[in-house]
Structure 1
Amino acid sequence: MAKFSLTSTFLLMIAVIMMAGVGFSDAQAEDRTVLIVGEGEGHSPIGDSLYRDVVSRISEQVEKAGFSAIQATERLSVSDKDEDEALLRRAREGGLEGQEGRKVTYVAVLSLFADMSLLNVGTRIRLAIKGRLLEAEDGTLLAKFDLKLPENYTAPPECDRRCVIRLLQRNTNSIAEGLGRILAERLSERKSSPAQ
């Protein structure tokens, strides 16, 4: 039976995804505040708890890199460019719940999808963290990510609900921490690169 530790695979996936991003300019990185916004409605207490853990881990890594992280307390439905523009306009105006009027330079939009299905052979677990990092001023896409656990992961039958939740939390936290480190590095590179 395979262990439920896929951290190194996800960190590699995150690194490859992030390296494909857009170049940065120093002039665009004067302020160092990142607003983290949840995309979509909360689906369950477990999903909401995992989402809070993901935001917390990403925030920790962003703050370690010298940026401020603000979590918007409202969850939004943002699925296309027009809605991104409306979100960015509200963020620039300081109008999102939890933002408290603070100016932001970057907006990270996150979605977390967690699902469990009981099978004869155990519990099938599906998990995905999706999102994007945008420049607040002009909407420039700085990074896009879509990280998933392999579709075929199944927890053993003896793993009860609490066990499955612990597995989800442990692996979600590892993925989110790695994603947070990569986003923080990306923002730091943006700050330190010469103007283009």
Structure 2
Amino acid sequence: MRYLLKNLAFVLTFGLLSVPVYAADNPNLLVMGEDADEDSVPRNSRVFKRVVYALQGQMNYYSFDVYDETYVTMDNFTQGRVRRSDAELFDIARSVKRPPIDVVVVFTMYASAQQKDHTTKIKARITGRMINAKSGKFIDTFEVDSGQFWNAPNECSRECILEVVGDKAKILAEELGAVLAEKLDWLVEGQMAENGQDRSATNDMITDYYLIFDGFSAEDFMDIEEYLVIFSGYKSHRPTEQRHTRSEVLYRSSIGTAKLSRNLKKMLGELDMRATVTFEGNTFTLKRITRRGEKRKPSVDGGW
């Protein structure tokens, strides 16, 4: 009875299950190119830049919040580096705090040219994938290629080849961007678009959060768990570390960070618990504030 009454009161207080939320938590995207492979098109190539712009344009068309890598990293990271590995790209994306990046769109482009007596044959391929920047979780991937060889003049200089490849690469990148954007749009919107709703703070893109409860007893955490499972967007949770006064939980949910933060603070109020709440990356840390002489209040119904 106590559990049912608590859940009912929480739902009525916060409207978690019946009231749609329209305060958008639109994913922040960063388009980055991986050129560690010596055979791939390097970052300092004009072809590479045209691919970046085309991908950004397609993501922006789907109303995602797309940020320019140079602008958001110019204060704290060395600019102009080429042949960057996955590890460097993801470290940069995860380190950007203003704004926090939710999804990294990573692409790699390959191009080749064969000069023949009568023409120049050009071929290109672009692979793209999307990674959840908070958790490193793979989201989706797609690849486009030129199919048959493109033809260029038989005496096509390096400048000529760059222009031809750039023109064709832009077309491939727009196709790649459109497909990736559509895949991400479906994950974010789910069935909401069919119901005429906009993106909300809760969507179908699952995020792995880590919730750390520091200074909370095992009994406190049992009470907390009753709330965690009824937050909107909840999928699952599992303990990753448990001690007498500390619990760490992997919390999988489609809830947005802002709404999760609000729910955690409201939960503390409902449980009459005082704590500081901090957030960084994908980790919420709740540190219990104890007062001298304060004791746990016994439950009126024995906890059943």
TM-score (normalised: structure 2): 0.44
1:47 is displaced (CA, Å) by 7.1
Q: Deviations over 1:109-144 (max 9, x none)?
A: 111222323222321212121231111122222222
Instruction: Output aligned runs, 1:78-117, within 5 Å.
Output: 78=86, 83=87, 87-94=89-96, 101-117=98-114
Contact 2:35 2:41 in 1 (8 A): no
1:66 is displaced (CA, Å) by 1.3
1:158 is displaced (CA, Å) by 6.1
Instruction: Output aligned runs, 1:145-164, within 5 Å.
Output: 145-150=142-147, 152-157=149-154, 163-164=160-161
Partners of 1:138 and 1:172 lie apart in 2 by 31
Q: What secondary structure sits across from 2:29 in the alignment?
A: strand
Aligned to 2:117, which of 115, 120, 130? 120
Q: CA RMSD in A?
A: 3.1
What corresponds to 1:34 in structure 2?
29
Q: What secondary structure sits across from 2:32 in the alignment?
A: strand
What corresponds to 2:85 in structure 1?
77
- Which deviates more, 153-162 or 105-114? 153-162
Partners of 1:90 and 1:163 lie apart in 2 by 34
The residue type paired with residue 193 of structure 1 is G
Instruction: Output aligned runs, 1:134-145, within 5 Å.
Output: 134-145=131-142
Contact 2:145 2:172 in 1 (8 A): no
Q: What secondary structure sits across from 2:53 in the alignment?
A: helix
Partners of 1:111 and 1:192 lie apart in 2 by 27
Q: Which has the higher contact order (CA 8 A, sep 6+)?
A: 1
Partners of 1:57 and 1:113 lie apart in 2 by 16
Q: Deviations over 1:138-188 (max 9, x none)?
A: 222222223222364443426565554443222211111122222222222
What corresponds to 1:56 in structure 2?
53
Specify whether residues 120 and 47 from structure 1 end up closer, same or farther in structure 2 by C-alpha distance, changes over 3 A only: farther
Specify whether residues 188 and 150 from structure 1 end up closer, same or farther in structure 2 by C-alpha distance, changes over 3 A only: closer
Q: What secondary structure sits across from 1:40 in the alignment?
A: coil
What corresponds to 1:169 in structure 2?
166
Q: What secondary structure sits across from 1:139 in the alignment?
A: coil
Aligned to 1:187, which of 184, 199, 215? 184
The residue type paired with residue 134 of structure 1 is I
1:39 is displaced (CA, Å) by 0.6
Q: What secondary structure sits across from 1:120 in the alignment?
A: coil
Q: What secondary structure sits across from 1:150 in the alignment?
A: coil
Contact 1:34 1:69 in 2 (8 A): yes
Partners of 1:119 and 1:46 lie apart in 2 by 28
1:46 is displaced (CA, Å) by 10
Percent identical across equivalent pairs? 25
The residue type paired with residue 110 of structure 1 is F
Specify whether residues 166 and 40 from structure 1 end up closer, same or farther in structure 2 by C-alpha distance, changes over 3 A only: closer
Contact 1:106 1:136 in 2 (8 A): yes
Q: Highest Rg: 1 or 2?
A: 2
The residue type paired with residue 56 of structure 1 is Y
